[in-house]
Amino acid sequence: MKVLVIGPGGREHAIVRSLLADPNVSEVHSAPGNAGIATLVPTHAIDANNPEAVANLALKLGADLVVVGPEAPLAAGVSDAVREAGIPVFGPSREAAQLEASKAFAKQVMAEANVPTAMAKVAVNAEEAADALDTFGAPYVVKDDGLAAGKGVVVTKDRDEALAHAQTCFDAGGSVVIEEFLDGPEVSLFVLCDGRTTVPLVPAQDFKRIFDGDEGPNTGGMGAYTPLNWAPEGLVQEVIDRVAQPTVDEMARRGTPFIGVLFCGLALTSRGTRVIEFNARFGDPETQAVLARLKTPLGGVLMAAAKGELDKAEELRWSKESAVAVVVAANNYPGTPRTGDRIRGLKKVEAIDGVHVIHAGTALNEDGKVVSAGGRVLAVVALGADLVKAREKAYDGVELVQLEGSVFRTDIAAKAARGEIKVSGPRTGALPVTKLSSAASPTSTKEDS
């Protein structure tokens, strides 16, 4: 099978890497890719957000499957164009991708499907914003309604700061969603969907803030790990039963079936599990950690999802090892990052047993040397017998990366490795009863093979 992977980032590098390990995948292509992907497969310099350009490339290559990585091409309708060209595509239609592209739309679907989430109000002007902030009280949560690369959310105790963020969004012609604050640890669960059937991957945790101790502004994600050795038993099944399957059923009922990854961003609050957000794609950098543990060949699973045959796909098998991904970001990220700096030491990193480098914002300069080309530059991904060992190896690798002015968090997976994450509150059974799905749902996934 020949697969075309759309997108430029670390998530796509991780997907390409896993596809290459699938014996049934004969050829992988990438567009536009990055310097790391280009060492593995042919890359094609097209505009990945242009549906026609992507469909034409897929036809020209004779691709059997197209995998769309990022949210922007999904929201632009790339999947629709590829599907219309008669090629199976792993990625939701433009309409289904609204689950991510519009937070207000996601809230409507969740309300309809009885999915537990934060109470929220949409505001389109300062008066409405002030009203909503006072309804929920501090800490305040203000979200840009549209796509903002993980940076559109402000969580603050400062009412003026909350109002100022809302005003910035209004000034840009947008609206905001203001919601109640959700306490408790966060979980990212990726659920593969074929429009009807849902299959969960293993849960992971992401680190959104730029600085250690979850300080500073939000980023696209500074690191991730799996497994969650602290997660309540039955969490995955709870999320399938109460979140993913009802959402997929509701999307099908609306005539806009969801095919691709339903990324459930969850908070395990003291009052139960709540959805913080949906994304319509794999998470970055969680994918780098999650796919490092996947033993089942990825191409076959994604093809089954694209063709509506997930109920017939083989059960997912996972390595018992732990995976930790640490992002190395450019100077000044998440502000405008410094780019064009040489990156050295990557070969030494890869020489560590069980460690590999996933490129995100990298490019080759005129001399063919790897330079920084974006905010999140790369991730060092390590597998180890447990989180302590995986962390050690990941940070051994990070220390060998030479990139002037670069930054990374030193506490990725640290609390989990020390056993310091506690979940309180009711879990399964304490949530509002949802309509149970009629669709067959082979949600089992074996963690120990």
SS3 assignment for 178-224: EECCCCCCEEEEEEEEECCCEEECCCEEECCEEEHHHEEEECCCCEE
Q: CB under 8 Å to 351, separation ≥6 — which residues?
A: none
CA angle 196, 70, 117 (to 5 degrees): 55
Using the minimum distance from each CB to ligand GLY, give the nearer residue, 249 or 284. 284
Using the minimum distance from each CB to ligand GLY, give the nearer residue, 10 or 36. 10
Using the minimum distance from each CB to ligand AMP, give the nearer residue, 263 or 395. 263
- DSSP secondary structure code for residue 232 in this structure: P
Choice from 22, 249, 250, 277 touching ligand AMP (CB under 6 A): 277
Using the minimum distance from each CB to ligand AMP, give the nearer residue, 129 or 153. 153
Given ligand AMP, ligand GLY, none, residue 284, with its beta carbon under 5 to 8 Å by kind, binds: ligand GLY
Using alpha carbons, list the distances in angstroms from residue 173 to 94, 129, 145, 161.
21, 15, 11, 19
Choice from 101, 113, 122, 141 touching ligand AMP (CB under 6 A): 141
Using the minimum distance from each CB to ligand GLY, give the nearer residue, 88 or 221. 221
Q: How far is the CB of 159 from ligand AMP (least distance, A)?
A: 16
Element (H, E) at 372: strand 370-372
User: Helices 245-253 and 103-113 sit at what angle, rounded to 10 degrees?
Assistant: 100
Indicate whether 150 belongs to the interface with ligand GLY (CB under 6 A).
Answer: yes
Indicate whether 283 belongs to the interface with ligand AMP (CB under 6 A).
Answer: no
Distance CA 46, CA 129 (A): 40
Indicate whether 208 belongs to the interface with ligand AMP (CB under 6 A).
Answer: yes
Number of residues that bind ligand AMP (CB under 6 A): 15
Choice from 27, 128, 161, 186 touching ligand AMP (CB under 6 A): 186
Choice from 22, 238, 241, 284 touching ligand GLY (CB under 6 A): 284
Choice from 36, 221, 334, 374 touching ligand GLY (CB under 6 A): 221
Distance CA 8, CA 22 (A): 21
Using the minimum distance from each CB to ligand AMP, give the nearer residue, 205 or 362. 205
Pull the structure tokens for residue 290. Answer: 């999650």
Indicate whether 226 belongs to the interface with ligand GLY (CB under 6 A).
Answer: no
Q: How far is the CB of 276 from ligand AMP (least distance, A)?
A: 5
Distance CA 252, CA 258 (A): 7
Indicate whether 116 belongs to the interface with ligand AMP (CB under 6 A).
Answer: no
Positive or negative, the CA dihedral 346, 347, 348, 351 is: positive
Indicate whether 387 belongs to the interface with ligand AMP (CB under 6 A).
Answer: no
Q: Which residue is nearest to ligand GLY (CB)?
A: 221
Given ligand AMP, ligand GLY, none, residue 182, with its beta carbon under 5 to 8 Å by kind, binds: ligand AMP
Using the minimum distance from each CB to ligand GLY, give the nearer residue, 246 or 283. 283
Indicate whether 411 belongs to the interface with ligand AMP (CB under 6 A).
Answer: no
For tokens 């075309």, what's the residue? 4
Other CB atoms within a 10 A radius of the CB of residue 164 amount to: 13
Which of 118, 93, 113 minimizes the C-alpha distance to 103? 118
Distance CA 285, CA 347 (A): 21
Q: For residues 2 and 26, is the Cβ–Cβ distance under 8 A?
A: yes
Choice from 283, 374, 375, 397 touching ligand GLY (CB under 6 A): 283
Given ligand GLY, ligand AMP, none, residue 179, with its beta carbon under 5 to 8 Å by kind, binds: ligand AMP
Indicate whether 155 belongs to the interface with ligand AMP (CB under 6 A).
Answer: yes
Distance CA 77, CA 302 (A): 19
Other CB atoms within a 10 A radius of the CB of residue 433 amount to: 8
Choice from 279, 296, 322, 362 touching ligand GLY (CB under 6 A): 279
Give the footprint of ligand GLY on residues 323-352 (CB under 6 A).
none
Q: Name the residues that contact ligand AMP, by CB under 6 A.
A: 118, 141, 143, 150, 153, 155, 179, 181-182, 186, 208, 218, 265, 276-277
Q: Name the residues that contact ligand GLY, by CB under 6 A.
A: 150, 206, 221, 279, 283-284, 286
